[in-house]
Amino acid sequence: MPKVSDAHRESRREQITAAALACFAEKGFQKTSMADIIQASGLSAGAIYLHFASKQEIALAAGRQVLARRLGELEHLDQEHLADPIETLRGLLAAMVEDMVDSRILVQLWGEATTDPGMSGLVGEILATLGGAWTHYLETWAAQHDAVDPAAWARTALPALLGIAQGFLVQRAIVPGFDADAYFASVRLIAGPGLLSPG
């Protein structure tokens, strides 16, 4: 039997996660069944279960795929000319929204995490990875702006930055006529010097 290549395996996993995301966008995470994902993917049940044991695992894999692309962008920013944190966050959020079938899925998964310990662990893993990458960026940016203690400033600023990102995604999901430009204008108005001036 020929060995399945890593590239083929990854391609098949992406096919499954794309089908799952389309189902989640149409029906919601809670109402989507593995049977729905199997049908949407065009694959057999055996092919699906060879890669994933549950829709929770598929959701995590989809989250990791999107996260990996965004972290790659964050890591490859021009380290000598970093934009300020809010501008950088805005750019990455715009790319993430464009990358996903429906960013409301993230809000659904966060809701699941409040009652499902397994999902809570999966979401926590993604947030921890994201937090680590953002802490590195914030520390680098703070050092370039002569912060007394860049590492301490980065740790202090991180929860607010993540909160701004989550607020953006929640409001985009539930507020009719959500305006991203107005949202970030508001953020800049109320953030004050602490998030933009590490010195």
191 falls within a domain: yes
170 falls within a domain: yes
Q: Whole-angstrom Cα distance, residue 7 to residue 68?
A: 17
Q: Closest by alpha carbon to 138, among 98, 111, 178, 165?
A: 165
1 falls within a domain: no
**Residue range(s) defining the domain that contains residue 140:** 6-196
Mean pLDDT (the chain) is 86
Is residue 177 very low, low, confident or very high in pLDDT (cuts 50, 70, 90)?
A: very high
Host H or E run for residue 183: helix 180-196
pLDDT tens digits, one per residue of 14-23: 899 989 988 9
Domain of 165: which CATH number? 1.10.357.10
Helical H segments across 28-103, by residue range: 34-41, 45-51, 55-75, 85-99
- pTM for this structure? 0.81
165 falls within a domain: yes
What total of structural domains would you count in the chain? 1
Q: Whole-angstrom Cα distance, residue 90 to residue 168?
A: 9
- Residue 178 burial (CB count, 10 A): 13
- Kindly report the backbone phi and psi dihedral angles of residue 79, in degrees, each rounded to the nearest multiple of 5, phi listed first: -65, -20
Six-digit token string for 95: 């790319």
Residues 66/167, Cβ–Cβ less than 8 Å? no
